């Protein structure tokens, strides 16, 4: 079985973890984290603020991986509900509270701020209907060097056409300068030229924005977009400078465009991009299911950007004699110079068994159980590695690989996408795998599996070997003193933007292996610079994604998914 990417617990409810994780929770001598002091951003004891007052007090209970900027500002998505017996969700319609939030951990005593929630936040212009948000399909991301947060939002229709038709239920939203605005939405076909798909017939709008969009340099939005031309679905990666209300969307790479060095092959799939310091990186292939051309590309955020390959399919794998790359991860960690990534090589495969999620989107969970009542066996590459590439020199360094130092896998699986009959413009629900890496310079942290133990590991340029930072034998109270006594870490979560400038932001779930009492939250630590780690005996950087097998998340594809 493999892990999904949502942390969810109730303050008193039993959390039914899959057997494989339970195996990792066999009581051992609980270990403390290596000399890191953790601060709580949010946990199950905290009441969620709301955009409008609610009749019932809602406590947080479910979290996705956070993002952090170089100043320690954390952006995250979470859900909240009243305690058991509290009588339903908040006022104004009730139901679970869900939203996108921020908290400045660089300022002592700072409060959690609501950026947008489903309890009354009005969608920014263009909005002629007074529509409010109803859902947030993917994790939010924060700009490396500013307070700008970018996230996807689903809403009631925001615009009424001349014939009375209401349209526009999905978009990407951001807050440069602190004011929430629409970065891009589906209204390109409703006369809003700034939201139209470039290099297509005039009036072509986006259908959907899969994965997690990002921002860079304060006001530049980068995202993956799906669209349809003459009845054919296409995709691409794009950017838009939101500093100008009328600035158009600019294409970085689109379906049908020639792959640099691809021998005549063209892009058939692209992954959500990452950007920093005026540059963007992304993964793209000719065929996502069975790629024979493609790789990781970098481009300047300028009009008509030129793509440069960083690493390509067929390129030699460093540290592995006679082998070449066959695939790369979608989620790239990028600091403006170096790129942390997952890669595979060779034709050997292995099988993992997945079971359907037991929480999250109810319709998606039911659909998964209908399709896979007894779980499903999935195939993934046997030969996998964690790497970092220097975009200025082209040098690629291997940090870790399966088959060495006890590592058996670096991939996590989740069941995500749109359930048939619920959406016509989102990618369909299916099992998807991702690897999770966060890097700063040559220092890389990643999620890995060693037999039945899932953990977070790090490779530092100034230190030999791979260091264990946290795994499923660690004490829950070593991260959160409020965790149940005797609990152990049951899952750890990270986004590609989870480590920056010494700030480490993670999500963690704790479980008592005897009573099944559970706890969860988001936590930060100020990590010493790698050069001082040897003196402290401490090794830490950015934490890996959730390793809770079989727990799905996300309404659509192309990257991360949703609650």
Instruction: Please give the Cα distance from 553 to 230 (Å, whole number).
Output: 32
- Is the confidence at residue 534, as pLDDT, over 50? no
Residue 214 phi/psi, 5-degree rounding, is: -140, 170
Give the distance, in angstroms, between the CA of residue 308 and the centroid of all CA atoms in the same chain.
25
Q: For residue 558, what pLDDT is reported?
A: 28
Do β-strands 453-459 and 443-450 pair in parallel, antiparallel, or remain unpaired? antiparallel
- Is the confidence at residue 548, as pLDDT, over 70? no
Percentage of the chain modeled with pLDDT above 90: 70
Q: 130 in helix, strand or coil?
A: coil
Do β-strands 396-401 and 411-416 pair in parallel, antiparallel, or remain unpaired? unpaired
H-helix or E-strand containing 399? strand 396-401
User: Per residue in 170-229, pLDDT tens?
Assistant: 999 999 999 999 999 999 999 999 999 999 999 999 999 999 999 999 999 999 999 999
- List beta partners, residue 250: 239
Q: Counting beta carbons within 10 angstroms of the beta carbon of residue 30, is it exposed (0 to 12), middle (13 to 18) or buried (19 or more)?
A: middle
CB 500 within 8 A of CB 68: yes
Instruction: Please give the Cα distance from 475 to 36 (Å, whole number).
Output: 13
- pLDDT bucket at 38, cuts 50 / 70 / 90: confident
Q: For residue 20, what pLDDT is reported?
A: 29
User: Per residue in 429-469, pLDDT tens?
Assistant: 899 888 999 898 888 889 999 999 998 888 887 778 898 88
Residue range 335-363: mean pLDDT, rounded: 91
Q: For residue 306, what pLDDT is reported?
A: 96
Instruction: Please give the Cα distance from 561 to 563 (Å, whole number).
Output: 7
Instruction: Please give the Cα distance from 220 to 339 (Å, whole number).
Output: 19
Show the 3-state SS of 204-232: CEEEECCCCCEEECCCEEEEEEEEEECCE
Domain 3-549 has CATH 2.130.10.120: yes
Q: For residue 48, what pLDDT is reported?
A: 97
Residue range 389-398: mean pLDDT, rounded: 96
Instruction: Please report where in the chains the tokens 């690989």 appear, as a residue.
Output: 401
Which of 6-10, 256-260, 415-419 tops mean pLDDT? 256-260
Residue 538: how many other CB atoms lie within 10 Å: 17
Instruction: Please give the Cα distance from 486 to 510 (Å, whole number).
Output: 10
Instruction: Please give the Cα distance from 126 to 130 (Å, whole number).
Output: 10
Closest by alpha carbon to 541, among 556, 528, 560?
A: 528
Instruction: Please give the Cα distance from 223 to 213 (Å, whole number).
Output: 5
pTM (two decimals): 0.86
Residue 305 phi/psi, 5-degree rounding, is: -65, 140
Output the average pLDDT for the chain. Answer: 85
| Weakest-pLDDT range from 89-93, 168-172, 283-287, 501-505 | 89-93
Q: 83 in helix, strand or coil?
A: coil
- Is the confidence at residue 470, as pLDDT, over 80? yes
Instruction: Please give the Cα distance from 371 to 395 (Å, whole number).
Output: 44
- Is the confidence at residue 494, as pLDDT, over 50? yes
- List beta partners, residue 430: 416
CB 223 within 8 A of CB 238: yes
């Amino acid at each position: 079985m493999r892990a999904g990417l949502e942390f969810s617990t109730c303050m008193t409810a039993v959390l039914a973890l899959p057997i494989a994780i339970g195996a990792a929770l066999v009581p051992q001598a609980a270990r403390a984290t290596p000399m890191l002091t953790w601060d709580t951003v949010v946990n199950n004891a905290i009441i969620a603020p709301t955009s409008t007052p609610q009749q019932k007090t809602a406590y947080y209970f479910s979290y996705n991986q956070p993002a952090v900027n170089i100043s320690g500002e954390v952006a995250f998505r979470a859900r909240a509900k009243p305690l058991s017996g509290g009588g339903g969700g908040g006022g104004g319609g009730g139901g679970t509270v869900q939203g996108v939030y921020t908290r400045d951990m660089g300022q002592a005593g700072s409060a959690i701020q609501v950026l947008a929630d489903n309890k009354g936040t009005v969608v920014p212009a263009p909005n002629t209907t007074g529509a409010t948000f109803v859902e947030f399909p993917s994790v939010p991301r924060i700009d490396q060097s500013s307070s700008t947060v970018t996230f996807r939002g689903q809403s009631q229709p925001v615009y009424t056409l001349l014939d009375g038709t209401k349209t526009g239920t999905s978009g990407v939203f951001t807050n440069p300068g602190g004011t929430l605005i629409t970065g891009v939405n589906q209204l390109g076909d409703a006369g809003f030229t700034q939201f139209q798909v470039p290099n297509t017939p005039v009036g072509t709008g986006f259908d959907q924005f899969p994965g997690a969009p990002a921002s860079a340099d304060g006001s530049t939005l980068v995202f993956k977009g799906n669209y349809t031309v003459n009845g054919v679905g296409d995709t691409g990666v794009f950017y838009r400078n939101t500093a100008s209300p009328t600035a158009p969307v600019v294409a970085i790479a689109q379906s049908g465009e020639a792959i640099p060095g691809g021998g005549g092959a063209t892009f058939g799939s692209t992954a959500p991009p990452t950007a920093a310091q005026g540059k963007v990186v992304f993964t793209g292939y000719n065929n996502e299911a069975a790629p024979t051309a493609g790789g990781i590309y970098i481009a300047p955020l300028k009009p008509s950007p030129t793509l440069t390959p960083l690493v390509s399919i067929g390129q030699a794998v460093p540290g592995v004699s006679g082998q070449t790359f066959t695939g790369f991860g979608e989620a790239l960690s990028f600091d403006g110079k170096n790129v942390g990534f997952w890669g595979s090589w060779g034709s050997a495969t292995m099988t993992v068994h997945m079971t359907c999620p037991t929480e999250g989107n109810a319709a998606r969970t039911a659909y998964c159980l209908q399709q896979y009542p007894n779980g499903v066996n999935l195939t993934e590459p046997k030969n996998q590695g964690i790497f970092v590439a220097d975009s200025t020199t082209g040098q690629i360094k291997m940090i870790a690989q399966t088959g060495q130092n006890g590592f058996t896998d670096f991939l996590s699986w989740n069941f995500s996408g749109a359930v048939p009959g619920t959406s016509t413009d989102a990618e369909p629900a299916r099992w998807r795998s991702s690897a999770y890496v966060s890097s700063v310079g040559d220092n890389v942290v990643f999620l890995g599996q060693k037999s039945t133990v899932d953990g977070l590991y790090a490779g530092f340029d100034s230190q030999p070997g791979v260091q264990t930072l946290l795994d499923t034998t660690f004490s829950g109270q070593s991260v959160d003193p409020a965790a149940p006594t005797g609990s152990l870490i049951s899952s750890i979560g990270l986004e590609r933007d989870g480590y920056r400038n010494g700030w480490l932001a993670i999500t963690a779930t704790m479980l008592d292996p005897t009573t099944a009492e559970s706890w969860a939250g988001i936590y930060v630590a100020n990590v010493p610079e790698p050069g001082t780690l040897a003196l402290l005996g401490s090794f830490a950087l950015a934490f890996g994604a959730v390793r809770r097998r079989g727990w799905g998340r996300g309404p659509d594809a192309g990257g991360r998914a949703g609650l």
